[in-house]
Structure 1
Amino acid sequence: MDIGKKLKSTRVFLGLTQEEFCAGIVTESFYSRVENNKSKISMSDLISILNYHNISLYDFFASADKTVHDKKRVMQSFINDDANRLKKYQHLLKPAQKKYQLEFKLMLSILNDQIGELPKGTIEKAQRQFIRIGKLDINTLFYINLLVPIVEFRTLKIIINYLISSTESGKLCDFSLQLLCHSLLHFLNRCYKEKDEQEAKMIIKFFKNIPTTSYIFLEKLLVNCYECLFSGDEVKLESIVRVLKLCGYGKYAVSFERIKNNFETE
């Protein structure tokens, strides 16, 4: 087994330098020798490096024919608004994985705010493919995220109402909870654009009943922003925007400042 080669391919895929990838766990010079099969890395150091980059041993030692399309990593990149990482995953798709191209096209259009530029046929195809009523598993929650910006608002309200009436947030795993909150957050944005305060209040109430964890801290802050927008509480909104900036979420702060300014000029 060529561990050095596997490490290098993983590092290159993540777009990291040798120094960034070894993360101080081993020296850069030693790590370079490992990649070139001139030195052997201990299992403890290997595990530490992989853990640092959230890579499981299973994924690392998976067989060569394992699909590159790791669905969960793709989903995580999407809810993290990481368009650059999504593009890297997209470029690694094999010809046999063309069925995923529609997902990538939709995700990148959403993150780049280019939904309006998608052909009508693409949107209709996505709706046919992703609208599912049934078990609320991770895939279904992910597809609902893709549907929120493209489905007619009346239909979307039915989907979201079904979602929250069928969900017990306390029984969801952390990642499913992230997907749920991400979809509801973007639905709040649709509610704000459609001026549907009643629907928004229902979502805000649902959010407040979800225990705050580190996984959804940002989503909780952003929901508070929408609550301020609907109530017209500019002082509280400005306070939350400052918190967003201090926590490193500047792009979200700018987004809400833009929404607020657009609303004031209407």
Structure 2
Amino acid sequence: MKIGKRLKNTRKYLGLTQAQFSSGIVTESFYSRVENGRSNISMSKLIELLNYHHVSLYDFFEPAFEGNIEQQAILAFIDRDCERLKDYKPMNERQEAVVDLMISILGGWKGSSSYSHEPTALTDYLKHSENPEKNIFAWCLLAYLCEIDEVATVVDKVVLALPVYSDDFSWRILVNTLITCLQRFYQAGMQAQALITAQLIDAIPPRSVLVLEHLVAKYYLNLLQGNQDQAAGIRRLLQVNNYDRLLAFTD
């Protein structure tokens, strides 16, 4: 189910007109286009709308937190490749909801810590999920969506999960979740936490599938330690290989 259709269903459930639901957060005409699939709403405006109407992120995106999604889509998301995600063909409405959420995050998230979630995405997830540790991709999503003061909890959960998994795919998800946490700390000016997280990633034993993640961690380590020339060199290396999008949320 597309985000516009999901918004429409939520609005009708609340018994509101489009003008009432848009609430001045976005214009009524823009909101109408979103519902009809002709415009895309940013993640920040979506969260603002949901907060205003006291709709939790968990209730809105429940399939994303509990459902499974194929590796192809997850890899596109952790590679931050929005075009690959848009080309992905979901097999059912549950997968479609997850892909919509991932595209919204990549299209609208800038690492901001200014959103006020009540209740928060992390609290929502922990409250509703009986076994949150089993869905490691949910932590990958929550690293983007939770409050900045909850990011440390995500880091702790990932650190606990790392010894449990041995396959490369799970490790890519978990380490990329740490990368997102690192970038959110850095964006928020929390340099001590960012440095600890970068050192944590850098200390992870090398795996061929984690080469990019280690490069990104070294980029931030050099930035945080004042080694601007080394950081610039790593950035150029990522740019040459078209992977500088992995640093996009810091720019």
Query: Gaps spanning 5+ residues in structure 1: where?
Result: 1-68, 260-266
Q: Deviations over 1:24-55 (max 9, x none)?
A: xxxxxxxxxxxxxxxxxxxxxxxxxxxxxxxx
Q: Distance between the aligned counterparts of 1:250 and 1:195, measured in 2?
A: 21
Distance 1:84 1:247, change over 3 A: closer
Aligned partners of 1:144 and 1:183 also within 8 Å = yes
Q: Distance between the aligned counterparts of 2:108 and 2:240, measured in 1?
A: 25
Q: Distance between the aligned counterparts of 2:103 and 2:147, measured in 1?
A: 20
Match of 1:165 among 152, 156, 160: 160
Q: Distance between the aligned counterparts of 2:100 and 2:180, measured in 1?
A: 18
Give, as a single letter, the amino acid of the residue that structure 2 aligns with 1:89: Y
1:211 corresponds in structure 2 to 205
Matched, 1:230 2:229: no
Aligned partners of 2:219 and 2:231 also within 8 Å = yes
* CA deviation after TM superposition for structure 1 residue 227, in Å: 1.2
Distance 1:192 1:133, change over 3 A: farther
Query: Gaps spanning 5+ residues in structure 2: where?
Result: 1-67
Instruction: Give RMSD over aligned pairs.
Output: 3.3
SS of 2:144's equivalent in the other structure is coil
1:244 corresponds in structure 2 to 238
2:99 corresponds in structure 1 to 104
Q: Distance between the aligned counterparts of 1:105 and 1:130, measured in 2?
A: 22
Pick which of 178-187 and 190-199 moved more.
190-199
Normalised to the residue count of structure 2, the TM-score between the two structures is 0.59
Q: How does 1:65-144 map to 2 (within 5 A)?
A: 71-90=70-89, 92-94=90-92, 97=93, 99-114=94-109, 128-129=124-125, 134=131, 136-137=133-134, 140-144=135-139
Q: How does 1:143-162 map to 2 (within 5 A)?
A: 143-162=138-157
Q: Distance between the aligned counterparts of 2:169 and 2:226, measured in 1?
A: 32
Aligned residues: 180
Normalised to the residue count of structure 1, the TM-score between the two structures is 0.56
Q: Deviations over 1:95-142 (max 9, x none)?
A: xx2x344422221022223478xx989x967963577574644xx221
Q: Distance between the aligned counterparts of 2:82 and 2:160, measured in 1?
A: 31
